[in-house]
Amino acid sequence: MKTVGIGLLGAGIVGGSLIRRLVEEHSAIEAKTGLNLELRRVAVRDFAKERSIALDAAVLTIDPVDVVDDPNVGLVVEVMGGLEPAGELVLRALRAGKPVVTANKALLAARGPELIAAAEESGVPLLFEAAVGGGIPIIRPLSETLAGEQVQRVVGIVNGTTNFMLTRMSEDGASYRDALEEAQTLGYAEADPTADIGGGDAAAKAAILASLAFGMWAGIDNVYHQGIDSLTSADMKWAAELGYTIKLLAIAERLEGGVNVRVYPAMLPVAHPLAAIRGSTNAIFIEGPSIGELLFAGPGAGGEPTASAVLGDVIDAAREILAGAQVAPRIQLSSAELVPFEDVQTKWYVRLEVDDQPGVLAQVAGEFGRHGVSIKSVLQEGTGDDATLMIVTHRAAESQQRAARSSLEELDNVRSVASVVRVESAAP
C-alpha cells in the first residue's frame, strides 16, 4: 500500500471535518484509491479543547512550523485561514518541496502569483479546489477542463451567508437585521460578519475565478466590491414588483480593452438561472463561445462540503507525489489589461423619494439625460405630498450613472435617493 504522511494546519470547522474523514473513512479511501493517507501532525491552538475525533497527543502541536518541518509529513494541508502565519507556512512547505492543499481564498487572492511560482519552482502541486466554491468543483474545471475555452464571463453567487440572508428577505419579508441574526444562529455567519456582508469574501473568490478563467492574476486590490448592508426589505419588495430578485454577484468578464472583476448586489430577472439559487447554496455561471452556458451549483460553505473538496485535492496531490514526476504548473499567468469599474457599462435601479409635484419627473429625467444616461422604465407610487419613483436605466458607463445620482441628490424636490441597485441580465 502506498503511504503519504499528511500534516494539517488548523483543526477548526473544516480541519475537524477533514480529520473525521481521514480517520473514520480511512479504509474506504484506501480501498477506492490505493492510498494510505496517514495523519501524522496536526497544528492546533489549544491542546485541551475537546474534539469529536480523539487523536494521539504526539500528533498534536501548537507550533505550526512543527507540521511543515516534520520529515514524516509529505503533504501539507492549510485550513487555518487568514493571511499570516498561513502565508509564510505555505511558502515554507512549498520551498521544502512539499505539496500544499489549501482552502484559504484570502491568502490566494492576496499572494497567488508568489505561491504559484514557489510551487512551480519546486515542482510540486498547489491545490485549492475548496477556496472558491466550498463543495462545488470549479477550480479544476476552469484550470483544466475549460483551459482551451475562451471564457467570456463568469457570474457567481459565492457567499452562502449573504445568499441565505437575501433569500429570507425576499421570500419571507425578513428585515436585514433579523436575517443576519438568523444566519448567525444557524452558523452561516460569523460573530463578526463583515467579510461576508461587506463583500470582501466574495471579492477574494472573484479574483481567483477571474485569474483562472482568463489566465491572468486580477489581484484583490483590483476588485471593486460592495456588500448587502445597505439593502432593505423594501428593495426586495420592489425588485419582485419589477420581475427581479436581488443576489450578491461576483462578476468577471472579458470586455473590449481588458478584463473587469467586481462584486455587488444586483437585480436578476426571475428567469435567470442564478435567480433560483436559494438559501446558503452557491452557484457559478460560466459563458463561452464553445460551451455556451454552464452552471455549477451546490453547498458553498460548511465543514463537510469544504472538507470533501479538500480531501479530493489531498488524494490528487498524493497521487502526484507517488508518481515521482515533476509537476507541470496547472495555471499559467500572463499580463492583461484591467478595465476600471468606472468604465464598465452598467444598468441601475434607482428608488427616489420625491415631492409629489408637477414637473418633478421631468427634472429627474433631465438630470439622467444630462449625464448621458437614458431611462428604460419608470414606476411611480404615492399621492399627496410625497411619492416614490422607481427608475431602471439603460446601460451607461458606471461613472455616468454615479454622476447622475450625485446630481439627483442636489435637486430640491428629491427628498432622498433611497436606494441604488445595479441590474444584471443575460443580454445587454
In the prediction, which pLDDT does 102 show? 96
Query: Is 342-423 assigned to CATH 3.30.70.20?
Result: no
Active site residues: 205
Here the cell at position 421 is: 441597485
Q: Report the C-alpha gap between 105 and 110 in whole angstroms.
A: 8
What pTM was computed for the model?
Answer: 0.92
CATH no. of 2-134+303-323: 3.40.50.720
Nearest one of 122, 143, 76 to 103, comparing CA atoms: 76
Nearest one of 375, 401, 402 to 389, comparing CA atoms: 375
CA distances 205 to 168, 195, 280, Å, are 23, 12, 16
First to last CA, the chain: 56
In the prediction, which pLDDT does 421 show? 97
Q: Where in the chain is the domain with CATH 3.30.360.10?
A: 144-298
Q: Where in the chain is the domain with CATH 3.30.70.260?
A: 342-423
In the prediction, which pLDDT does 427 show? 46
**Cα atoms in the 13 Å half-sphere on the side-chain side of 335:** 1
144-298: what fold? Answer: Dihydrodipicolinate Reductase; domain 2 (3.30.360)
| Number of helical H runs and strand E runs in the chain | 15, 17
In the prediction, which pLDDT does 94 show? 97
Cell 443576519 identifies what position? 180
Task: Say whether 232 sits in a helix, a strand or coil.
Answer: coil
What are the residue ranges of helices labelled H in 43-146?
64-69, 86-95, 105-122, 130-133, 139-140
Q: Where in the chain is the domain with CATH 3.40.50.720?
A: 2-134+303-323
By DSSP bridging, strand 281-288 and strand 386-393 are unpaired
Q: Report mean pLDDT in 10-residue bins for the chain, 428 residues.
A: 93 93 95 95 89 86 97 97 96 97 94 92 92 89 90 96 96 94 88 94 96 89 95 92 95 95 97 93 95 91 87 93 68 79 97 93 96 95 85 97 97 95 76
Cell 444584471 identifies what position? 424
Q: Report the C-alpha gap between 44 and 31 in whole angstroms.
A: 29
Q: Which residues contact 414 (CB under 8 A, 6 or more apart)?
A: 352, 353, 354, 360, 364, 408
